[in-house]
Chain A
Amino acid sequence: MSSEQTLSADVVIVGSGVAGSSIANELARAGISVIVLEAGPRVDRQHFVENFRNLENKPSYQGPFPAVPWARHPPNQMTPNEYLHTTGPDAEAYQQVYLRMMGGTTWHWAGCAWRYLPSDFELRSRYGQGRDWALKYDDLEPFYYQAEVMMGVCGPDPAKEDLGSPRKQPYPMDALPISYAAQQFRKLISEKTPLRVVHEPQARNTRPYDNRPTCEGHNNCMPICPIGAMYNGSYSVYHAEAAGAQFVPNAVVYKIERDDANKRVTAVHYFDPDKGSHRVTGKYFVIAAHCIETAKLLLVSADDKSPDGVANSSGHVGRNMMDHTGVQVTFISGDEALWPGRGPLETNVIDNFRDGDWRSERGAYLVHMVDDNQVDLATSLAISKGYVGKELEEQIRYLASHTVRLFSHNEGLADPENRLTLSKTYKDILGIPHPEVYYKLPEYTVKSCDHTRGLFKDLIGLMHGRDEQWTPGYFPQDHPAGSTIMGVDPKDSVVDGECRTHDHENLFIASSSVFSSVGTGNITLTVAALALRVADTLKKELTHA
């Protein structure tokens, strides 16, 4: 440990992703002093665009983001990989990836901006499964809208297409016009099945918004939108900085210091890349460091006062790990050419299985028809089949225009046995242990996946598909949740309905780690809404103090 120098602010935030930066922006605009500590570096878009083009394995959305050694992130979804170690019967189903750098993981999301359904917050009381949240949909509704305005979300008119999450305001932008492939899929589903395909709400510009351009369909939302038409956390970083928030990059927080009574957090300590240690004091602290890293930090901060980790009197820090474990199939359609890959990646969803009485038995799910350019895959496949010359070119055109990919988000369930711990084997260059997760898929999720497979088989039949290839097993959707679970009872939960830790009155958590259930929609909008609600609470407390 080297020189101790002290920074100080009203609010100290750990993590600069969508949660941390949006809180910083709100507070700074209210005149509150804010310091945001980000483990990773400052970055810029143009290098990621070129990295993507230079990347041989194009589908690897973690690929264009080679990590810095002092703040590593998983290099890919392999088991094992070099950073996030998973164990247990379904270890491979929990191989999440995320990004540690300024702006966070939304640098490579697909912009899907779902609100949760009211029932998602009441899973236990409605269906006798999992847990209830310590808040209701209506508590979050105004913050959902605030998050939609902040990100710039486009979506359908509720009068024409009700997505099941009641709205007081229309979407900030009109729904995205969908691709020809999606139009045909939509038509097929509505004509031949009792199901429906809806417009996916997306944090993507359908008109110039917030000084960023309209989406031009580069089909590269993941890993990197080349033009900034899709929201990512870096915009909130820029806005917060313009409002006076201070961001410190390459600041790896490793300790959360509390007062003698262990009731209030007094400081956080971080390492710079050379392992120089720095102390940052404040009145309030927010950990907004992604589900995995947030739990890791609380556990790493264990000391005599809190031998099991900070905010962990319940023993639930790191437990209840959830995800939208998915099923995926790729096949060759026997119908007309669809040419997937024209427009944004994920724009349309079958939403019929997001909720229903059957949720007392099996998990909910939603289905994406992925609008992903298949030319590279088609070329590799056609070459492997032995084609050359003219015949190769014909094959590429046919496969690229007829490949269909479906995947699902299947609902996980809070189970304390699914648990994140600190690796006893692996440490990073700063001496901080790597995270390790034990994972066994809940039966609830397995049943949901079985149901999805049945649906996919029917859909393949409807599209006269052939050469169907199922991605073996279950795969992670990078929507980890639950590691600092929310609840009313401090004995079995980590935070309360305000996302304040039960144990420490000035410590908040803004992350999917507080989710009590994981629903089916992508988690980011709910993370942002919860974060903005934390900002609201902090503003009230700091301006009244």
Chain B
Amino acid sequence: MAAERYSFPVDVHHSSPNGMRMNRMLRMSRRDVLLAGMGAAVVSVTAHAAEPPEASAPGVADAAQFLTLSLRLTDRETLSPAIGNALYARIVQAVPERKEQISRLHALLQQKHFESAQALAKAAEQADPVFKNVIHDIMTGWYRGVAAQKVVVYRSALMFDITKDAVYPKTYATGGPFYWTSKPPEVPLPTGEPGLSPSKFVVEPT
């Protein structure tokens, strides 16, 4: 897949680190397709990716909608508004359509009571397939700390919060030497269902 993206300029005389980073965004190759799944939908990369987030600072109300949506989609009582603002800014700056889409998804949330993230996700994908991408962005933002291929938070990403009883974010290990010899917690096989249809999973090259 993604062979059509293979047109990055190999101008060897004028390649800058920035150029290299852009090229990395356009990457993908055969052997990096790991754990390849079902279906297909990869968040697209746009030409705006290299602009600074300040370029389109979002309105306070929009960011508040984003946070309300995020609370439902993470099934959480609280989330950091500072992180929410930063994620929202980055998402709508990279993909401007997201602004309107997030607003519409928020409107859907207001229509009735959704008792879980799963319920909202199911209803949203049914209402408009584009919401699946919006929800992916929101999940990727909060859990991985990444929006539009850029790190917005690293150690503060929720994926580390929910695993902190077992592992540390790389470069932040505070168990002391040899903490790793101890037995980590057992984890039961999950039984919950997904809220969205599955997508193709792409691992980036190393």
Contacts and interface: CB of A to CB of B under 8 A. Distances in A.
Interface of A: 49, 52-63, 66-67, 69, 72, 75-80, 82-83, 92, 177-180, 183, 206, 214-220, 224, 226, 330, 336-339, 341-343, 373, 375-381, 383-398, 400-402, 426-429, 434, 467, 469, 471-473, 475
A475 B33 CA distance: 13
Contacts of B36: 469
Contact of B177 (A83, A179, A216, A428): A216
A386 B196 contact: yes
A56 B49 CA distance: 13
A75 B199 contact: no
B75 A389 contact: yes
Q: Which 6 A-B pairs have the closest CB atoms?
A: A389-B117, A391-B192, A343-B180, A386-B194, A386-B196, A389-B75
B166 A217 contact: no
A469 B177 CA distance: 33
Contacts of B168: 217-219, 373
Nearest to B20: A75
Nearest to A65: B17
A341 B117 contact: no
Nearest to A344: B180
A71 to B, nearest CB: 13
Nearest to B177: A214
A72 to B, nearest CB: 8
A75 B13 CA distance: 15
A226 B171 contact: yes
Contacts of B178: 177, 217, 343
B127 interface: no
Given A383-B140, A388-B135, A397-B187, 20 more contacts: A54-B154, A78-B27, A80-B10, A177-B181, A215-B177, A216-B174, A216-B176, A217-B173, A330-B35, A343-B181, A376-B159, A380-B144, A384-B201, A388-B194, A389-B73, A390-B75, A396-B143, A396-B162, A401-B185, A427-B12
Interface string B105-132: 0000000000011101100000000000
B139 A383 contact: yes
B126 to A, nearest CB: 13
B128 to A, nearest CB: 16
A252 to B, nearest CB: 15
A342 B195 contact: no
A216 B29 CA distance: 35
Contacts of A78: 27, 29, 205
A80 B174 CA distance: 40
B163 interface: yes
Given A66-B20, A381-B35, A392-B117, A60 B143 contact: no
Contacts of B27: 76, 78
Residue from the set A67, A384, A426 with the largest chain B CB neighbour count within 10 Å: A384
Interface stretch (B59-67, B79-87, B145-153): B145-153
B167 interface: yes
A279 to B, nearest CB: 26
Contact of A400 (B163, B186, B195): B163
Contact of A389 (B23, B195, B200): B195
Contacts of A53: 151, 154-155, 171
B171 A67 contact: no
Contacts of B193: 391
B174 to A, nearest CB: 8
A66 B187 contact: no
A473 B20 CA distance: 26
B37 interface: yes
Contacts of B121: 386, 388-389
28 contacts: A49-B171, A56-B150, A57-B205, A67-B20, A78-B29, A82-B15, A177-B181, A178-B180, A180-B180, A215-B177, A219-B170, A224-B171, A341-B170, A342-B166, A373-B168, A383-B139, A384-B37, A385-B194, A388-B118, A388-B120, A389-B75, A391-B190, A392-B139, A397-B163, A426-B10, A429-B13, A434-B12, A472-B33
Secondary structure class of chain A's binding surface, majority of residues: loop
Contacts of A214: 177
A236 B176 CA distance: 27
A341 B167 contact: yes
B48 interface: no
Interface of B: 10, 12-13, 15-17, 20-21, 23-24, 27, 29-31, 33-37, 72-75, 116-118, 120-121, 135-136, 139-140, 143-144, 146, 149-151, 154-155, 158-160, 162-163, 166-190, 192-201, 203-206
Contacts of A56: 146, 149-151
B71 to A, nearest CB: 10
Contacts of B150: 56
Contacts of A427: 12-13
Nearest to B140: A383
Contact of A387 (B17, B35, B192, B204): B192
Contact of B195 (A57, A226, A388): A388
Nearest to A224: B171
Residue from the set A59, A216, A428 with the largest chain B CB neighbour count within 10 Å: A216
B159 A396 contact: yes
A378 B160 CA distance: 11
Nearest to A68: B17
Nearest to B194: A386
Contacts of A224: 171
B195 A401 contact: no
B39 to A, nearest CB: 9
B177 A398 contact: no
B173 A216 contact: yes
B12 A387 contact: no
B31 A342 contact: no
A428 B183 contact: no
Nearest to B200: A384
B134 to A, nearest CB: 12
B106 to A, nearest CB: 16
Contacts of A385: 37, 194, 198-199, 201
A379 B31 contact: no
B175 A216 contact: yes
B206 A62 contact: yes
B170 A339 contact: no
A394 B190 contact: yes
